[in-house]
Chains A and B, each alone.
Chain A
Amino acid sequence: MSAGQAQCIVPQEVLTKVLKAAMMTGADFAEVFVEDTSTETITMEDGRIENVNSGRDRGAGVRVVKGETSSYCFTDSLEERDLIEAARTAAGAMSGARGEYIIDLTRSEVPVISPVAKYPWETTKAAKAELLHRADRTARAYDPLIRQVTAALLEIVRNTTVANSEGVLAADSVTRSRFTVSALAAKNGIMQTGSATIGKTRGLEILDIRTPEDLGKDAARQAIVNVHALPAPSGPMTVVMTNGWGGVLFHEACGHSLEADSILRGSSVFAGKIGQRVARECVTAVDDPTIPNEWGSFGVDDEGNPGKRTVLIENGILTSYMYDRKNAIKGKHEFTGNGRRQSYRYIAIPRMTNTFIAPHNSKAEDIIADTSDGLYAKGLRGGQVNPATGDFVFTVSEAYLIKNGKLGDAVRGATLIGNGLTTLGEIDAVAGDLDFGPGNCGKGGQSVPAACGQPALRIRRITVGGTQRRSAERRG
């Protein structure tokens, strides 16, 4: 199971029949996406194992394309008759007829991008529960102000098979594990939270990278920092961001606007700007699902196309967008392997995978030392963007003031708000310490695992939204 090609979930002959049924009304293209996903979650609250949930999502979706129209139908069953019924329903939305369509499926070589050492079924649930207990105990022991600790382990094995009328047949199997600890600290009626997560396309060996104790302690530490923190300042500031999950800035501020659907609708600020300078020399940005074991990695995308490294911005110059099949054909571009979906219940759309700002030649400590007055954003939660305007906002989970090149007081409750294009142009220093964090990215009602990454970097000027007005502070 651990090496070599993933199995086809449904036999090739059945897939061929389904595609023939889908092409019956004279479609240009048909595709069947089959999925069999097992999900295991264990959650702990208050030192007790609260919920242990095992799930199985098994089904298939059939897409039929004719001209500009596509039609989609899914079924929660892998029985041949149900698959063919779904194909007929999808085909039935088109008018037309044709004789038998020849389907000649050729199995693609799908590389194993993310080898797994400890599959979910190789560890007992009792042993997994103990891992949560270990994180919980460490977090509680960290400080008497810690009032509440929750921890959760998520393990997903997602098997997919895609076949289409152009002969593509590809199977992939991806195992993801994520371990999260959240802590709540309270003092004088002020309650603050902290959390720490590791998530990779791996098995339980993720906890060899960061132990449950390490994660528990980090979550508690953040909660304690925030409970003692001062209110965040507001107004335009220089912001230095730490490496790792902070890449969600680029993901939100620019990444979504580089997805081909918003480009081709003309509703993106990056439309028509290929070859133009959009950032300073120090900024190179990449989307790459082929990074071994990263959270957003896979062998083939959910349309059966191989995952590829796509350089989006090279030394400040815009070089590419991210495409699914439909938008690649429309935009006359090669497939980039960004066609993704939450499950067989959804149609694939262009999505990011592991998206990051590439390492450059600065050092994190030098960037801070070189900043006279600013905010150091050490932890971030999530964010949101309007792809048409590029306006974004995201929330800082751990932050410190920078005064004369040195870290000062911790501050809480800050948001960063700005515009994608503008902020991208404001990045003036990038370090070499690239790291990633796992996220779940929502778009069009679908959530997919996506990693955000970056080295430490500096944004010359960005609006910080806090409650403490800086001008008032200066006057006072």
Chain B
Amino acid sequence: MVDLKSLLAYAASLGVGETEFYLEESSSWSCRVYQGEVENLQASQGRGLGVRVIVDKALGIAYTSDVSEGTAREAVRRAAENAKISAPDELRSFYAPEGGYPSVETWSQDIQDTPAETKIRMALVMEAMAKQKDPRIRKVLGTGIATNSRSVTVVNSKGVNVSFKSGGAQISCQVLAADNEVMQTGFGNQFSRSFSGLDPEKVVDEAVRNALNLLGGKPVESQDASVIFAPEVSAIIWQMLAATLTGESVQKKRSMFAGKLGHKVDSELVSLIDDPFAVEGPGASPFDAEGVPRKRLALIEDGVLKAFMYDSYSAAKDGVKSTGHAHRRVQSAVSTAPCNLYLKPGTASLEEVVASTKNGFLVMNVSGIGTGGLNQVSGDLSVGAAGRWITGGRFVGPVREVTIAGNLKDMLLGIDAVASDLKWMSMGTPSFRVAKMAISGK
């Protein structure tokens, strides 16, 4: 593998002003079992190098999956070439270190040390367990386990040279429930920082419960009703919302929150926090994609918009400092994104929230939200949904083939309950309830 120090020297020899390398090395193992047999095993070591250069104040980018010396040098040359057609900007500059980095400890040695046989056995046990849970579980469609470790190194010509290794384990199970001709799938999964933290039975129960609770769902009459979003759905909504809480999206006139800093944008029950130190979350890390130290940032506190997220370039445009929210993958350009978001849980349990709902809909699945169902610019939301209907504080039956629609701004202000059932997936979130939304069905 190429030595990054000597690659910096190579870039300098080409007359490149500033250079930055983003190196990812990962080791992943995964297994899927089906009908008592191992169906698929994968084990791989992956690598990739992203190169950014600034030449005459213009940015150029390149990447390569092959990090041998020759290919890495070729990537540096291409990045320098690309800078020639980019628009120059005085504000372009990579990060120069100012002091140290926080310590974030996410590595658990059992991720690496647990033998493959133990992991495969766990998946097989989960599959067998799922079949036994209920006579209506006709099939276990897939049961998976994966462990991975990933290290990120950022090196630049301004003196940044940092590395961070993290790891995690994941289990998942998908079941098919059937009642005569009616079928319904249910999915359960868990992400854990350590192998020992995995709870297979909980995941199986979740998959079975999700399938059975939705089995035989029917559309309801079109109406306005309270809507409770389960954590899995809540996570999708808050992440899409957070994408608009960046300096970049305000500058590009794409944020519906432009000019709203210090204003009430949500119900006072809502606090949305990006916390790089919450190690339960998958994004916990000490620095961002530009090597800027991470810090805890409250985006929304008690319903009031408190901050936007910035990377170096968007921060320079607004004359502020980067908040450590530069995000990238090896193949992509740098953008701004949250690292480890969570919605602060409330005190009432989900059961209590349901019990206090007169006429409502617990939404367990949404579809189409990422494919245009939520317009991040206008806030218009219109998505397909499945879940359980609530009348007089009790579940009365499964619902499917309906849409829920409204505008995100109204929806956020209409939140009248946040439950205590915080769950960490791609982000941490509890269930929450919106007082009234339009549901269209029959």
Contacts and interface: CB of A to CB of B under 8 A. Distances in A.
Interface of A: 39, 42-43, 45-46, 48-59, 67-79, 86, 89-90, 93, 125-126, 129, 147-148, 184, 186, 190-193, 232, 234-236, 265-267, 269, 345, 347, 381-386, 388-389, 391-395, 397, 412-415, 417-419, 463-467, 469-471
Contacts of B151: none
B368 A383 contact: yes
A284 to B, nearest CB: 26
B299 interface: no
B41 interface: yes
A465 B372 contact: no
Contacts of A345: 44, 46
Interface of B: 34-35, 37-48, 59-68, 71, 74-75, 78-79, 81-87, 116, 138-139, 141, 176, 183-185, 219, 222, 252-254, 256, 331-333, 365, 367-368, 370-373, 375, 377-378, 380, 382-384, 386, 400-407, 438, 440-442
A73 B42 contact: yes
B372 A391 contact: no
A309 to B, nearest CB: 28
A419 B370 CA distance: 19
B98 to A, nearest CB: 26
Contact of A184 (B34, B48, B79, B377): B377
Q: 8 smallest A-B Cβ distances: which pairs?
A: A465-B403, A381-B372, A393-B384, A382-B371, A395-B372, A234-B440, A393-B368, A52-B82
Contact of B331 (A55, A125, A385, A389): A55
Contact of B405 (A76, A78, A466): A466
Given A73-B42, A395-B372, A53 B61 contact: yes
Contacts of B116: 93
Contacts of B380: 412-413
Nearest to B139: A266
A465 B79 contact: no
B85 A126 contact: yes
A29 to B, nearest CB: 14
Contacts of B382: 232, 395, 413-415, 465-467
A76 B39 contact: no
Contact of B400 (A75, A232, A385, A389): A389
A71 B42 contact: yes
Contact of A395 (B63, B365, B368): B368
Given A415-B382, A415-B403, A265 B141 contact: yes
Contacts of A186: 253
Nearest to B404: A465
Contact of A417 (B78, B176, B185, B402): B402
B176 A388 contact: yes
B86 A51 contact: yes
B384 A417 contact: yes
B268 to A, nearest CB: 23
Nearest to A61: B44
Nearest to B120: A93
A98 to B, nearest CB: 19
Given A69-B39, A193-B377, A389-B400, A53 B63 contact: yes
Contacts of A147: 253
Nearest to A344: B65
B81 A418 contact: no
Nearest to B255: A191
Contact of A347 (B35, B42, B253, B373): B42
Given A125-B81, A417-B384, A58 B66 contact: yes
Given A67-B37, A72-B44, 10 more contacts: A51-B86, A71-B42, A86-B44, A125-B85, A191-B254, A234-B222, A388-B185, A413-B380, A465-B403, A471-B222
A53 B78 CA distance: 8
Contacts of B253: 147-148, 184, 186, 191
A329 to B, nearest CB: 14
Contacts of A465: 382-384, 402-405, 440
Nearest to A192: B378
A466 B384 CA distance: 11
A77 B68 contact: yes
Nearest to A380: B372
A392 B332 CA distance: 30
B44 A73 contact: yes
17 contacts: A51-B59, A52-B86, A54-B63, A54-B75, A57-B65, A76-B67, A235-B222, A235-B440, A267-B139, A267-B185, A384-B370, A388-B183, A392-B367, A419-B401, A465-B384, A466-B405, A469-B440
A261 to B, nearest CB: 10
A49 B65 contact: no
Nearest to B211: A388
Contact of A463 (B138, B219, B333, B371): B219
Given A56-B65, A267-B185, A76 B401 contact: no
B219 A93 contact: no
Contacts of B375: 192-193, 413
Nearest to B74: A56
Contacts of B176: 265-267, 388
A465 B41 CA distance: 42
Contact of A52 (B61, B139, B183): B61
B441 A463 contact: yes
Contacts of A71: 40-43
A51 B254 contact: no
Contacts of B386: 391
Nearest to A52: B82
A10 B414 CA distance: 60
A220 to B, nearest CB: 15
B224 to A, nearest CB: 8
Nearest to A384: B367
A470 B210 CA distance: 32
Contacts of A78: 66
A184 B141 CA distance: 42
Contact of B64 (A55, A395, A397, A471): A55
Contact of B66 (A51, A77, A236): A77
B27 to A, nearest CB: 12
Nearest to B366: A393
A235 B382 CA distance: 13
Contact of B384 (A125, A191, A391): A391
A49 B401 contact: no
A385 B139 CA distance: 20
A129 B368 contact: no
Contacts of B45: 75
A419 B386 CA distance: 13
Contact of B373 (A69, A86, A415, A466): A415
A43 B333 CA distance: 10
Nearest to B42: A72
Nearest to B214: A389
B291 to A, nearest CB: 19
Contacts of B84: 125-126
A190 B379 CA distance: 9
A76 B67 CA distance: 8
Q: Which of B34, B38, B184 has the most CB of A within 10 A?
A: B38
A395 B406 CA distance: 14
B438 A469 contact: yes
Given A49-B87, A73-B43, A467 B438 contact: yes
Nearest to B30: A72
A50 B92 CA distance: 11
B401 A463 contact: yes
Nearest to B78: A54
**Chain B CB within 10 A, most for which of A39, A90, A93:** A93
B367 A56 contact: no
Contacts of B405: 234, 413, 415, 465-467
A166 B7 CA distance: 43
Contacts of B185: 267, 386, 388-389
A159 B384 CA distance: 39
Contacts of B66: 56, 58-59, 76-78
A58 B39 contact: no
Contacts of A73: 42-44
